[in-house]
A = this chain, B = another copy of it.
Amino acid sequence: MIDKEDFGPITRSRRRATITSAKSETVKLRNGAIAAASDLKSGPKARESLTKNLQLNEDSKQKCDRYDKISCHRLQESMLSSASSFKNYRGILNWCVVMLVLSNARLFLENILRNGILVDPIQVVSLFLKDPYSWPAACLVIVSNIFILVALYTERKLAMGSISEKVGLLIYIFNLTIILCFPMVVVLKLPSITPVGGAYALGVYTILFLKLYSYKDVNRWCRERTQAKARSPSSSSASSTMQSHVSYPGNLSLRDIYYFVFAPTLCYELNFPRSESIRMGFLLRRLFEMTYFISNVLSIVFQWMVPIIRSSMKPLQEMDYSRMTERLLRLAVPNHLIWLIFFYWFFHSSMNFVAELLRFGDREFYRDWWNSETITYFWQNWNIPVHKWCLRHFYKPLLRRGAGKLLSQSAVFFASAFFHEYLVSVPLRMFRLWAFMGMMAQLPLAWFVARFLRGNYGNAAVWLSLIIGQPIAVLMYVHDYYVTHCQDDPTIAEAL
């Protein structure tokens, strides 16, 4: 209806004519909250010109007041037009959240009415464990501590100078190779590990691999710097930018390395920026989100996706294309919702929760990939920890060693494709290269989008590749898994 800021000036005094000109200056700023602020700011200006106008007689002013309202239109574009520069759509994000919560509430109510809750807690647990008395994935995670200790021990020896750089590098190569191979062998050979448990363990080991690689690099750079300083004390300007609280050999403690292992980053640093204190409200909100979204994903999987996947097996086996497309589009929506919820759950709720607990200051775990108008922008901004790691420890060192830009970029993409395949194929015990090909297909797609689509069309293309691309890969793996594991085993087919 009608708000105070819009009408206040009129009742207080009749200074419409002067206000209109002041307002037209601030009109370009008008977006939501800023508009109100700028209206208030124009107050003093309007008051100033009011004092000038006081000479005019009362009657003519009263008339003026009406005449300036004779023209009340301005040449301007609609906010939703691409020609307007308005971009504030925070409300649309809230709308998505409200719709998600509401549709979940409706589903919940419907379930109670039908008296059939399809989410089965035992089935959820069975995704992680086959035998409740053997926890192979958890054991694997516990074993990983050995590799952390090896890295710390090696660094201490290197710092003391007991072993040479070459020996240190050899130990690291050995350690890092084992980190990647050991869990792979265990997951492939141990039949009691479920695909979900295996993927979890491999994920933990992959993260550890990236972290220890960064740990190695940064400590080596620190040693090189100390040597450079010892040689030429003139270059102290470089160190002054650091403002270190902890300097090189002092960081090689158990406490420091474990802080890094648990911190939500893949890039090691001697002095992480720390936040002032732990905000309990923030922590509790993130914890609530974490539990709520897990229940949300579970209900989407069991109430929505499993029935579709089950019904799409027959068309997939018979290669009935029109029916396959229909199922694929049907699967795309819940799959995409799960991916979005997973993104929020992992990159916002969980990482912020851990960061808040550890008072880790840098919360940039993602950037505004939702606005990305090119595929490239999406890959650069949706996963900042990995992007930062790739930049710092892979791409730039390659450039420094004289590799070309195109070669380095392709190498990064190739490594990324390798890890995607590693994290999917090994737990499923199937080597089909769908994930690898999905990653490599991004290169021609990125070229196409950048070449032919701009602005909102480019953004729509990025969304479309996310919504359609993923379920194709998922459906491929599910189909192959079904064909190899379930067709001859009716009990597993039943469980799926």
Contacts and interface: CB of A to CB of B under 8 A. Distances in A.
B109 A325 contact: yes
Nearest to A242: B71
The complex is assembled from copies of this chain, and their number is: 2
Nearest to A395: B2
A376 B6 contact: no
Interface stretch (A59-67, A120-128, A153-161): A59-67
A165 interface: no
A319 interface: no
A25 interface: no
B11 A98 contact: no
Between A77, A325, A370, A395, the greatest number of chain B beta carbons within 10 A of the residue's beta carbon is seen for A370
B1 A412 contact: yes
Contacts of A102: 329, 332-333, 464, 467
Interface in A104-133: 105-106, 109-110, 113
Contacts of A405: 7, 11
A475 to B, nearest CB: 15
A224 interface: yes
Interface stretch (A84-92, A200-208, A419-427): A84-92
A351 to B, nearest CB: 8
B228 A370 contact: no
A225 interface: yes
A473 to B, nearest CB: 17
Interface stretch (A134-142, A299-307, A356-364): A356-364
A117 to B, nearest CB: 15
A89 B460 contact: no
A96 interface: yes
A232 B55 CA distance: 14
Interface band, chain A: 35 or more
Interface string A232-247: 1011001101100000
Nearest to A270: B70
Nearest to A69: B392
Contact of A63 (B79, B224, B333): B224
B459 A91 contact: yes
A322 B113 contact: yes
B2 A412 contact: yes
A451 interface: no
Given A2-B380, A348-B78, A333 B92 contact: no
A86 to B, nearest CB: 7
Given A72-B388, A72-B392, A79-B367, 8 more contacts: A1-B416, A67-B239, A74-B273, A74-B361, A75-B362, A78-B351, A87-B90, A91-B459
22 contacts: A2-B391, A2-B408, A3-B377, A60-B234, A63-B228, A68-B241, A71-B271, A72-B392, A73-B269, A74-B273, A76-B363, A78-B351, A78-B363, A79-B367, A86-B368, A88-B89, A89-B92, A91-B463, A92-B370, A94-B456, A96-B96, A99-B467
Interface of A: 1-3, 6-7, 10-11, 17, 20-21, 30-33, 56-57, 60, 63-64, 66-81, 86-99, 102-103, 105-106, 109-110, 113, 218, 221-222, 224-225, 228, 232, 234-235, 238-239, 241-242, 265, 267, 269-275, 322-323, 325-326, 329-330, 332-333, 344, 348, 351-352, 361-372, 376-377, 379-380, 388, 390-392, 395-396, 399, 405, 408-409, 412-413, 416, 442, 446, 456, 459-460, 463-464, 467
The 4 closest A-B pairs by CB, nearest first: A91-B370, A73-B362, A89-B89, A91-B371
